[in-house]
Structure 1
Amino acid sequence: MSKDQELRQAAFKEVGKYQDLVEADPYRLHYHIMPPVGLLNDPNGWIQWNGTYHLFYQWMPFKTGHGAKFWGHYSSEDLVNWTHEDIALTPSEWFEKNGCYSGSAIEHNGELYAFYTGNVKDEEGNRESYQCLAVSDDGIHFDKKGPVVHLPEGYTAHFRDPKVWEQDGSYFMVVGAQTEDLKGAVALLRSENLYEWNHVGVLAGGGEGRLSEFGYMFECPDLFDLGGEDVLVFSPQGLEAEGMKYQNVYQAGYVVGAFDSQNGSYEHGDFYELDHGFDFYAPQTTEDEQGRRILFGWMSVPDQDEQDHPTVKHQWLHNMTLPRELKLVDGRVYQTPVAELEGLREGDVVEREVELDHETLEVDGVKGEAEELKLEHIDVSEGWFALEIGGAARLVYSSGQRIFTLERESYVDGVVEKRQTEVAELKDMHIFIDTSSVEVFVNGGAHVFTARFYPAPNDESLRFTASDKTTFNLKKWDLRKVF
């Protein structure tokens, strides 16, 4: 039996061994992508190919900690119902023996080309990294071609997460990197055939320009056209908190600019966070056959008290965000849940015109562990307005301070913690609640908050509170279980 076959068999055995324990977890999500067992992190190879959406993901099936990662694989025809496919990649070869790390996928000559980082460490912990290629003719089974990019000069071995695209008759690859003087950077490479790659240089960061002092490592870069501008998404590590910004251990965000494919240069503006919540990292986008730019993110952050999550005792950890459509509005990226998610709705919509005045209110018919809420035409005349979810999370808007806040009870010590951003006027909220997660889209997706939280399993309450007069139109749908 080959090493690849041994690893696949061991992973399948692990899924079967813990299936009942995993499914018994009251915090198991209803409609978010999760691992069947073990740990899930970065979305990989996200693409619509031959009409089918393919989302690969970093997977450690043997424990809820990190290690030599596999590429797990989900597929979908509609972005709502997902099939867990055969394992795409196992760390079975010398160039990936410590993990098939993150990467991307592209269609070429009718086949699916997956690029990923092969991670190698020796007994002393010294790292080697290789950008590798695997090719598939069915989107399920992959033929590994081995390394196609070795480490260029000027970088440490923290060189990973290739994202590949075609533009102006050439292929381009951006790679998350750290320069030899320990600056975060995005490296740019070019190819004419997807096998032979030339290092063009540092695209962003690396001690130069607006991102010259912007952390010690950039992960998961993604460069794409959006609304006629070139948006670079990446996840910088090593930023210091600034007021309400950069509050998590690591961040994920974007800059907007202009990419010159002829000389490989990129002029861009300031960095903005994509999500203001507790749990969002390593996002990846693709353009689907409708021309939409759709994003998935990992609903967590590395090195953030992972083993304290209540799901660990049920032998699983982490999930993906909902798929989000991106648009550029006045130079800023807006995110909205894809329209297909309406297919999750079951039963009749509950509609209410709500008026609060110095009171707390539970609205008849508005509760549950998996639901979608739309609050429209919000008018917070004075003071503050809040929504409490399951007694363990709270959304608060202060009209005087013009600040939107997400609070939750820490799953580590129970202390209330918060994330915030400035919102000049609260107009609407679109909220998805799923047993132990919440995603909040504020003002048409101008601001987004994502978090895991852990209410008492029998607490499905939703409570609205206002310090002064507040009115809004409310719609609520129950959402069905698909996992």
Structure 2
Amino acid sequence: MGKEIENENWVNKVRAEENRQKDRLNSCPFRMKYHIMPPVGWLNDPNGLCQFQGTYQAYFQYSPLSVNGGGGFWGHCTSQDLLHWQYQDPVLTTDRPEDRSGVYSGSALIEDGTMYLFYTGNVKLPGDYDYIDEGRISSQLMVSSKDGQHMSEKTVLLGMKDYPEDMTAHIRDPKVWKDQGHYYMILGARKRDFDGDRRRDTGCALVYVSDDKKQWKLDHEILPKENFGYMWECPDLFELDGEKILSYCPQGLPAEPERCQNLYQSGYSILTNGETPEKTFREWDLGFDFYAPQTFEDENGRRILIGWAGVPDTIETHRNLSVQNGWQHCLTIPRELHTENGAVYQRPVCEIDTLSWKQEEGTHCSFEREMVKIETTLQDGIPAEIRIGTEENGLMIHMEADRIQMTFLNKKGEPSACGGGRAIRIGRTASEIRHAFVLIDNSIAEIFVNDGEVVMTTRIYLEEPERMITVNGCRTCEIWKTEE
């Protein structure tokens, strides 16, 4: 089926490309210190997040040979503290018939000193197909590892014959966990449906069960009562503080002024009391750059989330200015999750506090390539603003009452160059905004409002003379910079 894949020396090929562009990337003014980036080329979804043998492992969709993506590898990096990451060789590539068009997203399960990785093998057949019902083959595969780096032979677990007949060929992104002696796998899916001659597919999730990680059978489907997007990607099902949480990326939701503002959304639903998912859906992040999050539980019992600081198919709306330097995209800072007031709150992992910080004086300063954190409290009834950049070229964060607005427009209403085409995003809190925490790591800003009730992530591309921070209207403000 198709041409044979030549991959005998694929690791050496990747190393050669990374080494060839090393000096170019190291001199790029937009590289970050504490975020996972591609060593070269393109990065998207986080995969296989876990803590294994005491070390944090993060895998990701990696295209080292193309800055515009296209898949082909699982990249890999490791960390002891979730902030300082060491890049390793990629661990998976397209080397068998079931994954020859892509080693798509998946997850990790740790058991008895072994890591098991599950992922989707994608095949797109050449020809005149719609690639919805025909021309696409989606399989779920597994590998194992004793060190997180060297993988076993691949085992095919599920193929097209194992999915319900009313599903399209879009079935992917396995998340696997163990509960009460059984293994469970949740898959994102697209259920076939029509309204007359008009296609009206329904996003959903499929949950499979196994006793041995190899033989799987369908346990149940998670379906909305009302159509809620045509495809659900990157599903994740977990318990947090006694609540049953479904995380997923529903594609095809209509945009609203203060909701679903991106082309594709990422969010969660609380299913504890049997609610239908669309009724309790909340977005994880209201910024320009967030998609495909995955969570895991570390050895201390923390539920940690990492997302892709990007969104698919945005070339027509906004760009990443690092492309000119041979790379594109990053992952978010790892975030600890907890529930509060019927919602999931996100905060940067506490390891942030272990960095060496130096406080700046006042509410105005410049910055270079160090990480910056801004901590503010607001005054009742008084608007507050945080500007990153200059009046002519910067990001303005405006907070007033229960509304936060993030904009790359200057005072004349013209788009700021540092936004690459990004314009406005708006969020609302349940009550008045009382606190905001902003992290800046060179070309990414992450805003946590009211202790993480609302989060906004954006990329920002400032030249060094424009790297200014100005805070106005806050009751208190502290600006800190790392000394590393």
TM-score, normalized by the shorter chain, greater than 0.5 = yes
Contact 1:377 1:472 (C-alpha < 8 Å) held by counterparts = yes
Match of 2:293 in 1: 283
Q: TM-score, normalised by structure 2?
A: 0.89
Amino acid at match of 1:387: I
DSSP 3-state at the match of 2:91: coil
Taking the aligned partners of 1:174 and 1:333, their CA distance within structure 2 comes to 21
- Give the drift of 1:199: 1.3
For the pair 1:198 / 2:204, whether they are aligned, the reply is no
Amino acid at match of 1:253: G
* Matched ranges for 1:191-230 at <5 A: 191-205=210-224, 209=225, 212-230=226-244
Match of 1:333 in 2: 344
Amino acid at match of 2:115: L
DSSP 3-state at the match of 1:313: helix
For the pair 1:454 / 2:461, whether they are aligned, the reply is yes
Q: TM-score, normalised by structure 1?
A: 0.89
Taking the aligned partners of 1:114 and 1:387, their CA distance within structure 2 comes to 42
Match of 2:370 in 1: 370
- Give the drift of 1:415: 6.0
- Give the drift of 1:343: 3.0
Contact 1:105 1:114 (C-alpha < 8 Å) held by counterparts = yes
Match of 1:320 in 2: 331
DSSP 3-state at the match of 2:154: strand
| Structure richer in strand, relative to its length | 1
Q: Deviations over 1:327-367 (max 9, x none)?
A: 01121010000011223334x32365xxxxxxxxx53x564
Amino acid at match of 2:399: Y
Instruction: Single out whichever of 410-419 and 97-106 deviates more from structure 2.
Output: 410-419
Contact 1:369 1:433 (C-alpha < 8 Å) held by counterparts = no
Find 1:47's aligned residue among 44, 47, 50: 50
Contact 1:411 1:453 (C-alpha < 8 Å) held by counterparts = no
Match of 2:197 in 1: none
* Matched ranges for 1:75-474 at <5 A: 75-124=78-127, 126-151=135-160, 152-153=163-164, 154-181=166-193, 182-205=201-224, 209=225, 212-258=226-272, 268=277, 269-305=279-315, 308-346=319-357, 348-350=358-360, 363=364, 367-382=367-382, 384-391=383-390, 392-399=394-401, 402-408=402-408, 409=415, 417-423=423-429, 424-465=431-472, 470-474=473-477
Contact 2:471 2:477 (C-alpha < 8 Å) held by counterparts = no
Instruction: Single out whichever of 114-123 and 384-393 deviates more from structure 2.
Output: 384-393
Taking the aligned partners of 1:416 and 1:266, their CA distance within structure 2 comes to 35
Amino acid at match of 2:175: K
Contact 1:305 1:412 (C-alpha < 8 Å) held by counterparts = no
Contact 2:204 2:231 (C-alpha < 8 Å) held by counterparts = yes
- Give the drift of 1:23: 1.5
Match of 1:355 in 2: none
Q: Deviations over 1:200-234 (max 9, x none)?
A: 231233xxx2xx31111100000000010110000
Q: Deviations over 1:255-307 (max 9, x none)?
A: 00138xxxxx8755410001010000000000111111000000000001189
Taking the aligned partners of 2:314 and 2:438, their CA distance within structure 1 comes to 24
Aligned residues: 453
Taking the aligned partners of 1:377 and 1:414, their CA distance within structure 2 comes to 30
DSSP 3-state at the match of 2:25: helix
Alpha-carbon spacing, 1:480–1:119, altered in 2? closer, same or farther (3 Å): farther
Match of 2:412 in 1: none
Taking the aligned partners of 2:215 and 2:124, their CA distance within structure 1 comes to 25
Q: Deviations over 1:99-140 (max 9, x none)?
A: 110000001232100000001111126211100001101111
Contact 1:254 1:274 (C-alpha < 8 Å) held by counterparts = yes
Amino acid at match of 1:436: S
DSSP 3-state at the match of 1:282: strand
The higher relative CO (CA closer than 8 Å, separation ≥ 6) is in: 1
Alpha-carbon spacing, 1:59–1:410, altered in 2? closer, same or farther (3 Å): farther
Match of 2:132 in 1: none
Alpha-carbon spacing, 1:250–1:416, altered in 2? closer, same or farther (3 Å): closer
* Matched ranges for 1:26-37 at <5 A: 26-37=29-40
Taking the aligned partners of 2:305 and 2:375, their CA distance within structure 1 comes to 24
Amino acid at match of 2:348: P
Q: Percent identity, please.
A: 37
Instruction: Single out whichever of 434-443 and 300-309 deviates more from structure 2.
Output: 300-309
- Give the drift of 1:26: 0.8
Match of 2:27 in 1: 24
DSSP 3-state at the match of 2:144: strand
Alpha-carbon spacing, 1:169–1:452, altered in 2? closer, same or farther (3 Å): same
Taking the aligned partners of 2:77 and 2:420, their CA distance within structure 1 comes to 34
Taking the aligned partners of 1:61 and 1:266, their CA distance within structure 2 comes to 42
Contact 2:42 2:327 (C-alpha < 8 Å) held by counterparts = yes
Q: Deviations over 1:350-385 (max 9, x none)?
A: 365xxxxxxxxx53x564453333434321433x22
Structure 1, unmatched stretches of 5+, are 260-264, 353-361
Alpha-carbon spacing, 1:412–1:219, altered in 2? closer, same or farther (3 Å): farther
Taking the aligned partners of 2:122 and 2:417, their CA distance within structure 1 comes to 32
Amino acid at match of 1:340: E
- Give the drift of 1:411: 5.4
Contact 1:390 1:456 (C-alpha < 8 Å) held by counterparts = no
Alpha-carbon spacing, 1:187–1:454, altered in 2? closer, same or farther (3 Å): same
Amino acid at match of 2:291: Y
Amino acid at match of 2:167: Y
Contact 1:366 1:476 (C-alpha < 8 Å) held by counterparts = no
Match of 1:59 in 2: 62
